[in-house]
Amino acid sequence: MVIKIEERRGRIIIHLLNKSRFEWTIEPRYWRNPLIVVILWILLPLIMAYYVPLGIVGIGSTTLLSSLILANVIALSAIAHSLQTIGTGRVNFGPQFFLVVGGYVAALLNKNYGLGSELTFLASFAITALVGLALSPLTVISRGLYFTLITLVLPLILGELIFWRGDIFGAETGIPGITRLAHTGDPMNDLLICFYLSLAMVLILTVIVDKILRSRWGFMLGVINEDEDVASSFGIDTKKIKVVTFTFTSGIMGLSGWFIAHYYGAFAGTMWLEPWVLIFILLSSVLGGKAAIYGAPLGAYFIVLSRDILRSYIGGGYSLLLLYIVLLIALYLLPEGLWGLYRKTRYREYVPVIRIRRKL
């Protein structure tokens, strides 16, 4: 028989061609939850796109898919931001700066030099990481409020530069005519391709960051996040780790920009330097679960979908007002974030969380 299913010792065992077998424990507390979540994450948009044409939340399928894509982009930056916060012990208030740098690298190289999206992907990561490397001494020489203020100013400087050199960056209109990631002729197919590409980026990054946090590097990042002085007193080269973390995570944020440029086919940096991008990324980290990397996508989906559902029901400026009220209430009611609801059942595992220092 090709497939044989049997129940043995509280497990369902599926034999395939008498060669390989797949086991699943029946008792729910032993279920492999990450696997279930990933399967749902992959299937849900597909179901929503084709089987629920009007969406279950009052918004159309294309709008819903666009929202999910934006959520993935925000999640990508939020995961990188969470790792950066853990590994440097500092909260960066300018993640959108790196996003915009990555976006412009992709846009300019594609438009001016005809580089394809594969090459601009590498270039966006490399150049944004280099910018991150150049700025990484900030993690060594400043901390607390000073670091926050410096990173808060970075997007403002870039914003001014975009207007000053409008001939290069296109000022508020941006750079149009960038090669799109998907151009099949069917808008729904294009959206699905872009969704799955963005989802793949988020999943791959989650796996990479998960591996990092479970390794010796994760231990060292965690100690730096909790107490940098203790870390250096116990042989951890804090400077090196902070510089490497800041550089790597800056590159990842740049990839968010790369995706935006090739997804929309145009890139206007001024739009992505706006405060809502910063707020969405920070809130995704915190509301997701205080820099828990698995919480960041959860937070991003919650925020972006809440915004679009409220917009479709209420519309206008009131929807944004209500969104921020909803987010404030969620922050108040869930101090450990959305991920914290799940984590409470597994409190023994150590996962570094944001520790914002009040003392300088």
Partner 1 sequence: MLHVSDLTKRFGGIIAVNGVSLEIRKGEIVGLIGPNGSGKTTLINLIAGFYKADSGRIIFEGVDITKKTADERVKLGIARTFQIPRVIGNMTAWQNVTYAVIGSRRFKEKKMTLTEASMEALYYLDIVGLLRKRDVLCRDLPIYELRLVELARALALNPKFIMVDEVMAGLNPVEADNVARLVQRLREEFKLTTMWVEHVLRIIMRSVERVVVMNEGKIIADGEPREVAKDVGVIKAYMGEEVVI
* Residues lying near partner 1 in the complex (CB under 8 A): 215-216, 219-220, 222-223, 226-227, 229-239, 348, 350, 352-353
Minimum distance between the CB of residue 132 and partner 1, rounded to whole angstroms?
A: 23
Q: How far is CA 276 from CA 3, 45, 284, 320, in A?
A: 52, 25, 12, 10
When the beta carbons of 10 and 235 are compared against partner 1, the nearer one is: 235
When the beta carbons of 208 and 236 are compared against partner 1, the nearer one is: 236
When the beta carbons of 197 and 286 are compared against partner 1, the nearer one is: 286
d(CA 277, CA 152): 13
Strand 20-25's sheet: what is its strand order? 3-8, 11-16, 20-25
Minimum distance between the CB of residue 218 and partner 1, rounded to whole angstroms?
A: 9
Contacts of 165 (CB under 8 A, 6+ apart): none
When the beta carbons of 112 and 215 are compared against partner 1, the nearer one is: 215
Minimum distance between the CB of residue 295 and partner 1, rounded to whole angstroms?
A: 16
Q: Would you say 131 and 250 are in contact if contact means Cβ atoms under 8 Å apart?
A: yes
d(CA 63, CA 68): 9
Minimum distance between the CB of residue 353 and partner 1, rounded to whole angstroms?
A: 7
d(CA 266, CA 101): 14
When the beta carbons of 222 and 251 are compared against partner 1, the nearer one is: 222
Where is 190: in which H helix or E strand?
helix 187-214
Minimum distance between the CB of residue 237 and partner 1, rounded to whole angstroms?
A: 5
